[in-house]
Structure 1
Amino acid sequence: MSNSTEYPGPIQYIVDNPDKTFGTWLMGGIGDFVLTGAIISMTAEYWTRYSKTDTSTYKSLVLVTLVLNLLKTMQTAGILWHKLIVGFGDYYSAAASPWYSTIVPLTSELLCLIAQLFFALRLYRMMGGLRLLLIPLGSTLAMGLAGNIALTIQVYQISSVESLASFNRTCIVALVGVMSADLTITLASSYYLWSSKTGFKRTDNLIGRLLHLTWITATLPAISALLNLVTYITLSPAGDSTFIAFNIISPKLYSVAMLYTLNTRQRLMSNDSSYVTNSRSRDGRGANLTREPVQFTDGRHHVNTTASVKFATPSGFDSTDSPGKSGGFREASFDRSREDGV
């Protein structure tokens, strides 16, 4: 351990605790590289499944996300090279922030924002409009973006880790904004899906899978964002940079969540895409076949992919009966007839 008088306090902390400073950058970088590999694989899967059916908007979104993630990984590699190779043994140099290191908050926010806007658009299409959610959702998205822009400007104006604690409030505002937007989108999507249950088994099973997808894609980014915030508030005042690892991997997790959602559409609908409705009920009575339009969008060509839902109702069936009432057969089915012929 070096003499504590050799370096200023923050840099001395790096000398004495490389695992909590350089180590967190290294672990975050490894996570970045692994997740980038996953993103490349998921992009290839998307292109194989949906390149011929999705609109140019979705294909452009996926390509932009891939390019930005590759640039983000190059940024991380450059930072690691500067801190661990070029600055090895030179703690003043390693503690300094090159220009591509100072824009980390902005590049991270850009990837997070793209994924959040995708899920917000998905929510908009499900609900047919955001209505009362427009104000809280717009405010939280703006809060996260503005906070990270301000944070980038502040970080750019410092030259070393010595000023790390000078922008605590800005960092907290940025992190809280991102987390609040996530929470708003996830809770609103869950509430809408849950309230859309019809009592019909097959329809409710589909809604259940959509709910599961909503939470499974939101969990990892939310946990990473939460740990980023908690470790920054509790550990960074002492010089501990653990939050850096979560800050590096968070935007990657958002991109993974978005790509996973896009790639799951085919599998999600595979069991419910086409049902044959029985023409007769169990007791042999005739059944009337009716169709009711239901809006269902999954990003294919001609975004309005309204499907027909078939309902088989026995002759003489009272429409006021409940779905489960004895003597009444009324089962929902999805017929994936689309404008694009898919």
Structure 2
Amino acid sequence: MPAPQHSTIQLSPSSQIFVDNRATTLGAWVIAGFFDAILLGVVLCQTSSFFKSYRNQSGIGRHYRWLVLVVVFLCVLKTSQAIGIVWVQNVHDFANPDVAQTLVAKAWYQVSAPTMTGIIAVIVQSFFTMRFYMLLRNLWACIPIVISMMLSFAGVCLSLNSIVIGDAKAKVMWLLVHLVCTFCTDFMITVGTCLALRNRNSGGLASTASLINRLLRLVFESAIPPTIAAGIDLIMTQTLGQKHLLWHLVFNFALSKLYAISLLYTLNCINEYRKTQAMSGGLSSSGSRGVSHGRSVKRGDVELGNLRKTEQVFVQTQIVTHISPSQGSIEVITFF
């Protein structure tokens, strides 16, 4: 068997650099697509769980099904994009590095990869911002979050435009704006929701305090993964240098799926809690805004049942609590 010999193909200097650094120029896209595909499996499993436990709801909840369908469709599209990028680079243009090296700056399906992540991020962040508003009922507290979210989306769109026109300096600047604002949006939603829940936990009711503590855990469980991924993505873009910059795509690709997982995890927790409360038979009547319309009846669209009254208290008191086990609204109304 003859000994292997080096290729005799003559490469241009830029193509030679591209081939010599293939662990970054090609490997980063492969690893990013690999993790993206794995996380898509998690998204699809959670989507299946959502539709199995979903029941018709009133108010804003009736739109959650369409929200999930849109996010899942975008996740599948993003994974298809990742597969297409890897296929073209490593199969279609395997023996043509002169073309493969230009795809990162010219191919529309490749330069738009961060934009797809930005679209999914802004949809999920809008959902959690809405839940934060329903909890706090303070429009002014939501304005900084909305501004940061819009700046993040504008940054990723302008970064895409900078790539198309070949302005590398502007691309780096707008990508930085996008990543900083994405992290700030996640941070403000998480911290704001936790503080709002803590402020609500001041009535001294054991049942309410227990449920609020449960919600705080849910907030951290759903918000921490995308927030950490966004932070690492930001750090990598500023510390890796031009030679290894593409490795930030591993976290950027994963970030889109982590947002979807965060959304689906929250909605599945809501559905599971409603199912548990419906089976226990201790639900209270409530309107779409959490206001009681009468005596307690069994309904499956309310997340918290009646609190039991102590037999030794001779003042007749009815407490109706409406709570959404996400970053949702909590309203406690007491009748004497």
Normalising by the smaller structure, the TM-score range is: 0.7 to 0.9
Secondary structure, in 3 states, of the residue corresponding to 1:287? coil
* CA deviation after TM superposition for structure 1 residue 6, in Å: 4.6
Q: Structure 1 unaligned runs (5+)?
A: 312-342
1:59 & 1:188 partners in 2: Cα distance? Answer: 26
Equivalent of 1:280 in 311, 322, 328: 311
Q: In structure 2, what is the equivalent of residue 89 of structure 1?
A: 95
Residue 87 (structure 1) shift: 2.0
Which residue identity does 1:242 align to in structure 2?
W
Say which is worse superposed, 163-172 or 31-40, in terms of deviation: 163-172
Contact persistence 1:32–1:73 (CA under 8 A): yes
From 65, 85, 92, the counterpart of 1:59: 65
The structure-2 alpha-carbon separation of the partners of 1:202 and 1:189, relative to structure 1 and needing over 3 Å to count, comes to same
Evaluate the alpha carbon distance shift between residue 207 and residue 150 of structure 1 in structure 2; reply closer, same or farther with a 3 A threshold: same
Is the Cα–Cα contact under 8 Å of residues 136 and 329 in structure 2 kept in the other structure? no
Distance 1:186 1:13, change over 3 A: farther
Return the offset for 1:27: 1.2
* Distance change (3 Å), C-alpha of 1:310 and 1:173: same
RMSD: 2.9
Residue by residue over 1:45-72, the C-alpha shift from the partner in whole angstroms, topping out at 9 and shown as x without a partner, is 1111114336441111111111111111
State the percentage of identical aligned residues. Answer: 26
1:238 correspondence with 2:239: no
For 2:119 and 2:189, the matched residues in 1 are separated by 17
**Which residue pairs with 1:200 in the alignment?**
205
The number of residue pairs the alignment matches comes to 297
Correspondence for 1:115? 124
**Residue 204 of structure 1: how far off its partner (Å):** 1.2
Q: Note if 1:28 corresponds to 2:55.
A: no
1:265–1:187 Cα change, 3 Å:
same
Q: Is the 8 A contact 1:295 1:305 kept in 2?
A: yes
- Deviation per CA, 1:83-139, whole angstroms, max 9, x where unpaired? 1111223222222222111211221111000100000001011112332331x1122
Q: Which runs of 5+ in 2 are unaligned?
A: 1-5, 278-302
Whether the 8 Å CA contact 1:105–1:149 is kept in 2: the answer is no
Change over 3 Å in CA distance of 1:279–1:168 after alignment to 2 = closer
**Any conservation in 2 of the 1:27–1:245 contact (CA below 8 Å)?**
yes
Task: Tell me by how many angstroms 1:252 deviates.
Answer: 0.9
- Check the 8 A contact 1:13/1:239 in 2, yes or no: no
Which residue is equivalent to 1:144?
A: 152
Pair 125,261 (structure 1): closer, same or farther in 2 beyond 3 Å:
same
Distance 1:252 1:164, change over 3 A: farther
- How far apart, CA to CA, are the structure 2 residues paired with 1:56 and 1:152? 35
Which residue among 160, 169, 174 is the counterpart of 1:170?
A: 174
